[in-house]
Every structure is written in structure tokens, then in C-alpha cells.
């Protein structure tokens, strides 16, 4: 099976975020960009499908500026993806979701693709737009919030589940299609040290973005602010559950006045 | 121009070690310390990820890292747990003499199995009669037919309880003192090898340490590393390669102590303000930060020199000695910053002091490092 996974460089949740001087972007000076939750799940799913279906190839694609985009592509190669394509945006330009979908669609259309996997949302803006837009641009159906994806070779069908508020739905679908994966139903693997070293030397195909895609995109953030620091929290220190309960009741009665 | 930035490749190696240290090692550090437990499952995971055979070349299934990259990883691991990191570096220490003086056939025979599956090795130099003066060792290797017969005792050998092979230094001609020292590879399964009980230690309690007795152990000549009498030089060349990672290990402990102290100082309030606003605490933190950075940079420089093919005896001794003294001092100040809580087992900093202490002792006590530093230094004058 020809599998394509689309990934996005997202700020590491462990780095301290700050707004840039212009007030509408993130100060990326000290930010580390990584593969996050949904995308890690998508890569893991692609690798599991490849392992279960010998002869399959996994091609990872990302659209974005240097150096962060190269880093997530190399991280994906280190995990076991076979090929990588980078739609190289100018430094500092991170595409908005629709521009990203257009850039990815062009790159995906140019390579063999039967199954296209994405994370359900990006770990940073949580827009959840790319998979649907990508499917539309490729002219194939898309399925979102998917988990437990398997290929039934005998029936030539994908079999998977969708988690919805009403419960879990069971689906089957033919190829080609785009599938947006739910986060972390699988336990994504960690790249091994020799694979990390090897991934630095693997080629990454670079393609220029379509000239028609404006660098500023179709949507643009106007203001970016960090949530106000939380106040009013009270930490109760305790040694035993009894002590915790007693202290909590005291706080609820005397400070919060929830009880008389 | 010197360049202190890491390459993207080095950053990704460091990130792997950092993630492993913080998610796999640190959560078990206190428990293993308390129970003196050797967490084999963690070492197996380290093996799987390529974080165990750091210095083993890729052709034998290892990670094949240069010394600088090894140091980046060792610092991160030690941040998670110094004791667990000792298991890793003691293993690499045992591989080094085979890599240095092993014949191609010996490397194939001894190192391939180590790269292929989780197995530990141990480096057995120290004896009860004294670790600082290996020339006076009493373990003998008597020529017998086409091989040798080993008898004697080694002590304080890291990984001895679990290792499948030992690199053992023994004297083939005691009249020659250090010029009679010869190195052998001895499988644990050899007849006459007895490993003593696990030593009860002050720190690094997730690592294992024991004595090994050799009662007329037959070793074929094909398992001798290098020539007869070449063992002392081999041990010294080995330590030239493995001293620097002790600097990295100490730096990791020191960084952990600084991080704990700084975050605690922002939360703990006395006299109506966080203790981080008392100048006495600020001065402590400032001194700790200087020590940590100096330790790291000295370690990096020694590793960088050795990777460029220099011997680096002076620089690696300086790095090991400075970083280990710094780690002890920084852990001490971290406890002081925590006040009474720092003295309690429930808080993480007292373990750091106990762990830092060992880095001043093993792989050449700091008194010996200072002798080496002065000797190398004075060479440049006379
Ligand atoms: C937890 C642990 C793990 C270890 N792991 C290993 C291992 O895997 N393999 C191995 O071979 N060894 C190992 N060692 C041994 C370690 O390397 C020795 O303990 C160390 O070299 C010191 O030797 P010693 O303990 O015999 O002290 P001694 O040599 O008896 O020294 C005692 C004191 O005298 C000082 N001293 C000695 N000679 C001089 C001198 N000429 N001038 C000034 N001061 C001097 C020393 O610095 C020290 O302070 C380990 C030790 C420990 C504690």
C-alpha cells in the first residue's frame, strides 16, 4: 500500500511560549518544534499498516519553513518512514490551514498515494481543517476522528472505528481516501539512536510552494496572547488522605465559605 | 572560531536521551535508590533504543558515538538518575579496552554478542589492596601451557553481579610491577569465577557493585588483550577515554540540583516573600549556575579534543575533577536551599549529594586526578 502521512511542526508543549513584539505571532526564538500527539499517532498508524502489509511504503510530507519542517520530517524518517517530501516555505512563514492543505495536496498528488493519513487536528492551532480540505483538493473522501485502522486485504477495504459523542462507530471504506486520526489510541514508538543518526543522512525531496498560495495565507491571526496567569489556586499539602480531607473541608468552610 | 552550538543531529540525540531520562529513569530513581534495586527493565529499554552501547561501533551493533556525543547523552541520563547512568558508563568502560587493543577476531567474538542482545560487561581493575595504585595489584596470571591461570580478587566492580563478561587486569610478572600487568577477557561462566554479594552503597544504588574472586581460572591465550605487560598502558589509555563521561555524569547531577533548587526557591516563602528574593539564596543560585556551566564546558572541550585525535589527558582529568567537585558543591547548596526539607528522603536533593560523592572517587579519585593534572601541567614548564 502507498501510504502518505502529513505532519506539521508544532511548538513543544514543554517550551515556554511568549508572544512576539508584533503581538500577532509567537516568539519562536526559544521554541522547539516537534511532532506532536495527533501527528505522532498518524505516523505510528502508518508504520503499523506498513508492518502488517509487507511491500507498503510510507511517505511523509510536510509544508512549512526551515528549519522546523526539516526537523519533523527527519523525526518521522527516524521513526521508520521511507520517503520524505518538504514543501519549502520561506523562513518564518507558517502556512494557515487552507494554504497548508493546498501545498500538501500538490505534493501528495505528485507521488503515489492510496491512503493519506493526517492527525485529526494540529497540536497547536487545533484547526482541524487540513484533512478535509486536502481530501476535497485530491477529490477523494475523508474520514475523521478515526482509530484502530486496519487493511482487510481479502475484501480490499479499510476497516476502522470512529469515536463520536454517541459512541464508537465501526466503518469500512475503499481506497483511495484521506483519514484523520484520533490522538494516541496507539502508543507511538520512540526512534532509536541509530535510526536518528541514519535519518540525518536520508534525502528529503524539496518542492517549492505553488506561487499562487499567498505567503500570508487566506486567514491570518490578528492577535496572539497568552492566557492570563492563573491566580487563586490553593495547594493543600498532606501526608494522609484523612489530613487532606480535613484541610479541604476547612478551606471550603473558612476561605471559600461554601459550607456554613 | 569555536562554535558552542550543537548540530541538529546532536540535538536529536540529546532529546532522545532527555526524554528517556525524564520519562523512563527519573520516575523510578527514588524507588530504586531506596530499595537498592537494579532496574534491569530500564537497562533493557536503554539497550533497545541504542542508549547502552554508546561507544560500541555500529559494525558490532552499537551506537558508535564519538566522545562528545556520548557526553551529551550521559549528562542527560544522569539528570534522570546518576546510579542508572553508572550502569551504562561502567558497561562502556568495559568495552573500551576491547575496542582499543582487541584483535579483529576478539572484537568479533566478544563485541558482536553485546551489540546483538542485552548483556552487560564489567571492567575489573580495582583490588582490595588499593585502587589508586594498580601497579601494586596482587591478582596473578600464571603461564600454563597455551594459556594462563588467574588467581586473586577484584573489588568495587560495577555491573559485576549481572555482567556476562569481565575485562580483568592481572599481573603476569609481579617483579615488573606495572610493567607486568596484562589484560584478559574472562566470561562470567568460566570455572573458578565467584561474584560476591551486591555491595550496600551510599549512593548510585540503582547500579550494582560487587567483588569478584578468581580461583585458578583458566584463560586461553586467545583471550588476552594486547601483549603481556601491555595491560597497565591499556588501562590508562582506556581511562583517558572514559574519564570525560564522568565529567558529563557529574554535570547532569549538578544541573538537576540547580533546577530543583531554583524552582523550590520561587515557591518557598519566608518573611513574606519567596526565598528567591533573598540575596543570600540568589548568590547561591548564581554560584551554582557558574559551576554547572563551567563543568559542562570543560567536559565538552575535553571530549572535543579527544574526538580530534588528541590524548587529552590533562583536559579530561580537569573535566572529571572539576565537574565532580562542582556536582558535590552544587548538590550541597541545593540541600541548603531546601533547608530542612532538603535533608529529608522525601525530597530529591539529598540523593543528588550522595550520587555526586561517587564521581569524586571512581575512575581515579580526585587526589589522583590532581596529581595527573599537576604532572601534565609541569611538563609544559621544566
Ligand atoms: C561505587 C563504585 C563503583 C566502582 N566501580 C569500579 C569498576 O567498575 N571497576 C573498577 O576497576 N573499579 C571501580 N571502583 C573502584 C574505584 O575506582 C576506586 O575506589 C578508586 O580508584 C579509589 O581506590 P581505593 O578505593 O582503593 O582508594 P585508595 O587507593 O585506597 O585511596 C584512598 C584515598 O587516598 C588517596 N590517595 C591514594 N593514593 C594517593 C596519592 N599517591 N597521593 C594522594 N592521595 C592518594 C585517594 O585519592 C583516596 O582519597 C568503583 C568504586 C566505587 C565506590
Q: Is the per-residue pLDDT at A212 higher than 80?
A: no
| Selected residue with higher pLDDT from A165 and A9 | A9
pLDDT band for A126, please (50, 70, 90 cuts): confident
CB distance B108 to ligand 1 below 6 Å:
no
pLDDT band at A228 (very low <50, low <70, confident <90, very high): confident
Q: Which residues of B touch A194 (CB under 8 A)?
A: 50, 58, 63-64
Produce one character per residue of B175-193: b if its CB has 16 or more CB atoms within 10 Å, e if not.
eeebbbbbbbbbebebeeb
Whole-Å CA distances, A62 to A88, A193, B365 = 8, 23, 52
Alpha-carbon distance of B329 to B319, in angstroms, equals 15
The complex's ipTM works out to 0.85
A121-134: buried (b, 16+ CB within 10 Å) or exposed (e) per residue? bbbbeeebbbbbbb
Average pLDDT, consecutive stretches of 10 residues, N- to C-terminus, chain B (382 residues)? 87 96 97 98 98 97 97 98 98 98 98 98 95 92 96 98 98 94 97 97 98 98 97 96 97 98 97 97 98 98 97 96 98 98 96 98 97 95 86
* CA dihedral over B221, B226, B232, B238, signed as positive or negative: negative
- Listed in sequence order, the residues at least 6 apart from A165 whose beta carbon sits closer than 8 Å to its beta carbon are none
pLDDT at A257: 82
| % residues pLDDT > 70 (chain A) | 96
Q: Is B36 in the pocket of ligand 1 (CB under 6 A)?
A: no
Q: What's the whole-number mean pLDDT along residues A131-147?
A: 94
Q: Are A108 and A70 in contact (CB under 8 A)?
A: no
CB atoms within 10 A of CB A229: 5
Choose one of B88, B92, B126, B136 to mutate for the ligand 1 pocket test, by most ligand atoms within 8 angstroms of C-beta.
Answer: B126
B-chain residue closest to A12, CA distance: B15
Determine which of B23, B49, B267, B347 to mutate to test the interface with A (most A C-beta atoms within 10 Å).
Answer: B49
B164 contacts B121 by C-beta, under 8 angstroms: yes
Nearest by Cα to A130 from A120, A140, A138, A139: A120
Return the bridge partners of A88, or none: A64
Burial environment of residue B269 by CB neighbours within 10 A (0 to 12, 13 to 18, 19 or more):
exposed
Ligand 1 centroid to Cα of residue B131, in Å, is 4
Whether omega before B278 lies within 30 degrees of 0, making that bond cis, reads no
Contact predicate B235/B272, CB 8 Å: no
Residues 6+ apart with CB under 8 A from A159: A149, A150, A151, A152, A170, A171, A172
pLDDT at A215 over 70: no
| Residue A236 pLDDT | 86
For residues A24-38, average pLDDT: 83
pLDDT for residue A216 is more than 60:
no
Position B188 scores a pLDDT of: 97
Q: What CATH architecture is A2-212?
A: 3-Layer(aba) Sandwich (3.40)
B93 CA distance to ligand 1 middle (Å): 16
pLDDT for res B149: 98
Tell me the pLDDT of chain A averaged across its residues: 89
Mean pLDDT value across residues A250-257: 85
B311 has a chain A CB within 8 A of its CB = no
Rounded CA-CA distance B159/A189 in Å is: 29
Which ligand 1 atom lies nearest to the CA of residue B94?
Answer: 8
Q: Which of B88, B96, B130, B131 to mutate to test the pocket of ligand 1 (most atoms within 8 A of CB)?
A: B131
Return the pLDDT at A29: 77
Q: What is the B156 CA–ligand 1 centroid distance (Å)?
A: 9
Contact B69, B8 (CB under 8 A): no
- Alpha-carbon radius of gyration of chain B: 21
Q: Which of B16, B46, B56, B59 to mutate to test the interface with A (most CBs of A within 10 A)?
A: B16
Q: What is the mean pLDDT of residues A18-30?
A: 80
**Adjacent-strand bridge partners of B144:** B147
Average pLDDT of the segment spanning A62-87? 96
Say whether A194 and B16 touch across the interface (CB within 8 A). Answer: no
Note the pLDDT of residue A22. 82
Interchain contact, B8 vs A197, CB within 8 Å: no
Residue A125: its pLDDT value, please?
83
Specify the pLDDT at position A229: 80
Between B113 and A253, where is the model more confident? Answer: B113
- Give nearest CA residue, ligand 1 atom 23: B131
Q: Is B201 in the pocket of ligand 1 (CB under 6 A)?
A: yes
* pLDDT for residue A185 is more than 80: no
Decide if A44 contacts A157 (C-beta within 8 A): no
Q: For residue A213, name the pLDDT band (cuts at 50, 70, 90).
A: low
pLDDT at B114: 98
What's the pLDDT at A246?
92
How far is B244 from B37, CA to CA, in rounded Å?
27
The span from the CA of A182 to the CA of A173, in Å, is: 17
Running DSSP on this structure, what letter comes out for residue A111? S
> What per-residue confidence (pLDDT) applies to A103?
92
Residues of B involved in catalysis: 363
Residue A214 pLDDT: 56
A positions 183-202 inside 8 Å of B (CB) = 190-194, 196-197, 200
The grid coordinates listed for B261 are: 533548587
Amino acid at each position: 500500500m502507498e501510504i502518505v502521512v502529513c505532519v506539521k511542526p508544532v511548538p513543544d508543549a514543554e517550551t515556554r511560549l511568549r508572544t512576539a513584539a508584533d503581538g500577532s505571532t509567537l516568539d519562536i526564538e526559544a521554541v522547539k518544534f516537534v511532532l506532536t500527539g495527533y501527528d505522532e499517532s498518524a505516523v505510528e498508524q502508518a508504520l503499523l499498516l506498513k508492518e502488517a502489509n509487507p511491500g507498503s511504503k510510507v511517505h511523509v510530507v510536510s509544508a512549512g519553513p526551515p528549519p522546523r519542517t526539516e526537523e519533523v520530517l527527519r523525526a518521522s524518517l527516524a521513526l521508520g518512514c521511507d520517503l520524505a517530501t518538504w514543501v519549502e516555505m520561506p523562513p518564518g512563514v507558517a502556512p494557515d490551514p487552507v494554504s497548508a492543505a493546498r501545498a500538501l495536496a500538490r505534493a501528495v498528488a505528485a507521488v503515489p498515494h492510496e491512503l493519506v493519513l493526517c492527525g485529526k487536528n494540529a497540536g497547536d492551532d487545533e484547526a482541524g481543517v487540513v484533512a478535509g480540505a486536502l481530501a476535497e483538493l485530491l477529490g477523494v473522501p475523508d474520514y475523521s476522528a478515526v482509530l484502530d485502522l486496519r487493511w482487510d486485504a481479502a475484501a480490499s477495504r479499510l476497516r476502522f472505528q470512529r469515536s463520536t459523542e454517541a459512541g464508537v462507530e465501526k466503518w469500512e471504506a475503499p481506497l483511495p481516501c484521506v483519514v484523520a486520526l484520533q490522538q494516541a489510541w496507539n502508543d507511538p514508538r520512540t526512534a532509536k539512536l541509530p535510526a536518528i543518526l541514519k535519518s540525518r543522512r536520508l534525502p528529503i525531496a524539496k518542492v517549492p510552494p505553488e506561487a499562487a498560495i499567498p505567503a500570508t495565507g487566506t486567514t491570518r491571526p490578528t492577535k496572539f496572547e497568552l492566557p492570563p496567569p492563573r491566580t487563586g489556586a490553593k495547594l493543600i499539602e498532606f501526608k494522609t488522605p484523612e489530613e487532606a480531607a480535613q484541610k479541604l473541608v476547612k478551606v471550603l468552610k473558612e476561605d471559600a465559605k461554601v459550607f456554613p | 572560531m569555536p562554535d558552542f552550538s550543537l548540530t541538529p543531529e546532536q540535538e536529536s540525540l540529546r532529546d532522545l536521551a532527555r526524554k528517556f531520562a525524564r520519562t523512563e529513569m527519573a520516575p523510578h530513581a527514588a524507588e530504586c535508590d531506596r530499595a537498592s534495586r537494579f532496574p534491569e527493565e530500564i537497562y533493557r529499554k536503554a539497550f533497545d533504543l541504542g542508549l547502552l552501547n554508546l561507544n560500541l561501533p555500529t559494525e558490532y551493533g552499537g551506537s558508535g558515538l564519538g566522545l562528545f556525543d556520548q557526553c551529551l547523552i550521559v549528562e542527560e541520563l544522569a539528570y534522570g538518575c546518576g546510579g542508572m547512568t553508572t550502569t551504562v558508563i561502567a558497561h562502556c568502560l568495559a568495552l573500551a579496552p576491547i575496542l582499543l587493543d582487541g584483535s579483529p577476531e576478539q572484537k568479533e567474538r566478544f563485541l558482536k554478542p553485546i551489540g546483538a542482545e542485552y548483556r552487560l560487561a564489567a571492567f575489573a581493575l580495582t583490588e582490595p589492596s588499593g585502587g589508586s595504585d594498580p601497579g601494586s595489584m596482587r591478582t596473578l596470571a600464571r603461564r600454563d601451557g597455551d594459556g594462563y591461570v588467574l588467581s586473586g580478587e577484584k573489588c568495587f566492580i560495577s555491573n559485576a553481579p549481572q555482567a556476562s563478561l569481565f575485562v580483568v587486569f592481572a599481573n603476569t610478572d609481579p617483579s615488573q610491577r606495572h610493567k607486568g600487568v596484562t589484560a584478559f577477557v574472562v566470561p562470567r561462566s568460566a570455572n573458578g569465577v565467584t561474584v560476591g554479594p551486591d555491595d550496600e552503597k551510599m549512593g548510585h544504588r540503582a547500579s550494582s557493585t560487587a567483588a569478584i574472586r578468581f580461583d585458578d581460572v583458566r584463560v586461553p591465550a586467545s583471550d588476552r588483550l594486547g601483549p603481556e605487560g601491555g595491560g597497565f598502558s591499556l588501562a590508562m589509555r582506556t581511562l583517558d577515554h572514559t574519564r570525560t563521561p564522568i565529567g558529563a555524569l557529574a554535570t547532569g547531577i549538578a544541573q538537576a540540583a540547580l533546577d530543583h533548587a531554583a524552582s523550590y526557591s520561587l515557591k518557598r516563602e519566608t518573611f513574606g516573600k519567596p526565598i528567591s528574593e533573598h540575596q543570600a539564596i540568589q548568590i547561591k543560585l548564581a554560584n551554582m549556575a557558574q559551576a554547572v556551566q563551567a563543568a559542562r564546558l570543560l567536559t565538552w572541550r575535553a571530549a572535543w579534543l579527544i574526538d580530534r585525535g588528541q590524548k587529552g589527558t590533562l583536559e579530561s582529568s580537569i573535566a572529571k575533577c572539576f565537574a565532580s567537585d562542582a556536582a558535590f558543591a552544587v548538590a550541597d547548596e541545593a540541600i541548603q536551599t531546601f533547608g530542612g526539607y532538603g535533608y529529608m528522603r522525601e525530597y530529591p536533593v539529598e540523593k543528588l549529594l550522595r550520587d555526586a560523592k561517587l564521581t569524586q572517587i571512581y575512575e581515579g579519585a580526585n587526589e589522583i586526578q590532581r596529581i595527573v593534572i599537576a604532572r601534565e601541567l609541569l611538563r609544559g614548564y621544566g
